[in-house]
Structure 1
Amino acid sequence: MNLCSISSGSSGNCTFVGSKNTKLLVDAGISGKKIENGLNSIDVHPEDIQGILITHEHADHIMGIGVLARRYNTPIYGTAETINAILRMKSIGRIAEDLLHYVVPDESFQINDITVEPFSTSHDASNPVCYTFQSDGHKVGMATDLGKYDDYIISKLSGSEILLLEANHDINMLMVGGYPYYLKQRILGDRGHLSNDYSAKLLCKLLHDKLKHITLAHLSKENNYEELAYETVRVELNQHMDDRTSGKILSVAKRDTASEMLSTT
């Protein structure tokens, strides 16, 4: 299986996940044109995308969904609450009803040769989820926009050979920064976002011998930066593995361009 972040951060998120026979997107939070350009840069044709899996209805995860659905008749997957919230947004435009597919947390479903499992996340949205993907004995796990993690999250992501995990903010940068108090409290709350430190602690609970790639994602532009997120997580990982190993498997998703294509093989 393969994973490539097309765009990642507070201003827009879109990730490609694929197998031998199936090509999917998780979220479409940038313009349709940028998604097309990002896919073309990794030699994937937008018309070959067989589904867009939406985590939740915030703008940085759905901005381009209407354009892609209308242009390519791409099926859309999400919880009923998420899809209904999207359909109420005038900015998204009309989406044909036959393209909409409702998912239920903890109920796996099949898209060609990929088994998709949605799982619940703690975020201030309408029944938000993230996803794991399994095909041909390999597993990819993704988790962003979660204010906390617990044994349930760990169990869902466990065994993933590729992990894309949120490292949204540095707590000190957030606290001394210019955000209003209510927004700082929202981000730090149980329905907000994972900090670099908590992302690192979660990753340490997910380490196993077959883990090949970790990509840190959804970094805040104002309250984090790539080198800080990387070093915070790497220092924690080094308590559990060799420094050369952590440096080899750890990366940070790029904000505005496609990142490296990661593979389980």
Structure 2
Amino acid sequence: MGLRFTVLASGSTGNATIVQCDDATVLVDAGLSAKKLEELMRERGVAGHHVDAIVVTHEHSDHIKGLGAFARKFNLPIYANEQTWGALERHVGQIATDKRVIMETGETISFGSMRTTSYAISHDAAEPVGYVFDDNGVKLSLATDLGYVSDKVQRMIEDSDVLVLESNHDVELLRMGRYPWNIKRRILSDIGHLSNEAAGEALCQLFTDRTKRVYLAHLSLDHNQMDLAKLTVNNILESNGHFFRKDEYPLRETYHDRPTPWDEVMKR
């Protein structure tokens, strides 16, 4: 027993992840067009009718762009907390009443054998959340779009078998970039996005003997590069005493335009 997942796309151009257990398939966010979502899912052998539910982290367009169209096409329930529903409602079109499910922040809902728990994060949205998936003691945590890793967030996602963690920007590239200062200030704030440095510092607290892999996610196309993110995070980990054998190197990539390979998260 265990979980498997693929990050279909990650970044400011659109976000979506498929998480599966033996008897359920959940789509986390739908931030690309319905057509593009189906295309990316086909690359990983998943069809829309295989999906049992969609869970939503927050209402920003890069997380809900295809939500309404995809949910209607496959008659899927959408799970989000009340404030997120209020914020996204006008963007997704008509959703049948029985498909609009309130999942309060902190609530745990089961999809098949998989327990899904939402937790509060710090971001400039109505009521943003991350998700932890657990199946028979196997733990996968998704943590992106957060300005910082609070103590509460750390307690939720620590001791994960696999973690998908935001590593959005390099601070200096962002400071020198073309964005107006008000946007840069928002990104750098406690309700913005995690920098490479912040991701590395958080991982120093999050790594345990149980942690197998960490996927660096939601990278900025303008103010980051995957090689730079991995180098920065790795240097911070090593400077804090976290060294890894080559065959056990834990940092993994995500992509804005293609899905990651399936990752099987199995119980030790």
Cα drift, residue 114 of structure 1: 1.0
Cα drift, residue 94 of structure 1: 1.4
Hey, what does 2:250 align to over in structure 1? 249
Q: Distance in 2 between matches of 1:263 and 1:231?
A: 25
**Quick check: 2:21–2:112 contact (8 Å CA) kept in 1?**
no
- 1:264 match: secondary structure: strand
**Quick check: 1:106–1:117 contact (8 Å CA) kept in 2?**
yes
Using a 3 Å threshold, how does the CA distance of structure 1 residues 246 and 163 change in structure 2: closer, same or farther? farther
| Residue identity matched to 2:264 | S
- 2:245 match: secondary structure: helix
- 1:205 match: secondary structure: helix
Question: What whole-Å deviation, never above 9, does each CA across 1:145-192 have from its counterpart, x for those lacking one?
Answer: 100112101100012111000001000000011110100000001100
Cα drift, residue 241 of structure 1: 3.0
Alignment of 1:61-210 (within 5 A): 61-89=63-91, 92-210=92-210
Q: Distance in 1 between matches of 2:124 and 2:246?
A: 35
Unpaired runs of 5+ residues, structure 1, are none
Work out whether 1:235 is the aligned partner of 2:238.
no
- 2:252 match: secondary structure: strand
Count, aligned residues: 263
Cα drift, residue 213 of structure 1: 1.3
Identity fraction in percent: 37
Q: Distance in 2 between matches of 1:71 and 1:214?
A: 33
| Residue identity matched to 1:241 | H
Question: What whole-Å deviation, never above 9, does each CA across 1:112-132 have from its counterpart, x for those lacking one?
Answer: 211111000100101111100
**Quick check: 1:237–1:246 contact (8 Å CA) kept in 2?**
no
**Quick check: 1:123–1:190 contact (8 Å CA) kept in 2?**
yes
Q: Distance in 1 between matches of 2:39 and 2:217?
A: 20
Unpaired runs of 5+ residues, structure 2, are none
- 2:215 match: secondary structure: strand
Q: Distance in 2 between matches of 1:141 and 1:82?
A: 20
Hey, what does 1:23 align to over in structure 2? 25
- 2:165 match: secondary structure: strand
Using a 3 Å threshold, how does the CA distance of structure 1 residues 246 and 35 change in structure 2: closer, same or farther? same
Alignment of 1:6-21 (within 5 A): 6-21=8-23
Give the root-mean-square deviation of aligned CA atoms: 1.3
Question: What whole-Å deviation, never above 9, does each CA across 1:199-224 have from its counterpart, x for those lacking one?
Answer: 11111111111211110000011111
Q: Distance in 2 between matches of 1:13 and 1:119?
A: 18
- 1:263 match: secondary structure: strand
Cα drift, residue 67 of structure 1: 1.1
**Quick check: 2:204–2:242 contact (8 Å CA) kept in 1?**
no
TM-score under structure 2 length normalisation: 0.95
Q: Distance in 1 between matches of 2:104 and 2:77?
A: 16
Work out whether 1:262 is the aligned partner of 2:263.
yes
Cα drift, residue 246 of structure 1: 8.5
User: More displaced, 241-250 or 200-209?
Assistant: 241-250
**Quick check: 2:32–2:62 contact (8 Å CA) kept in 1?**
yes
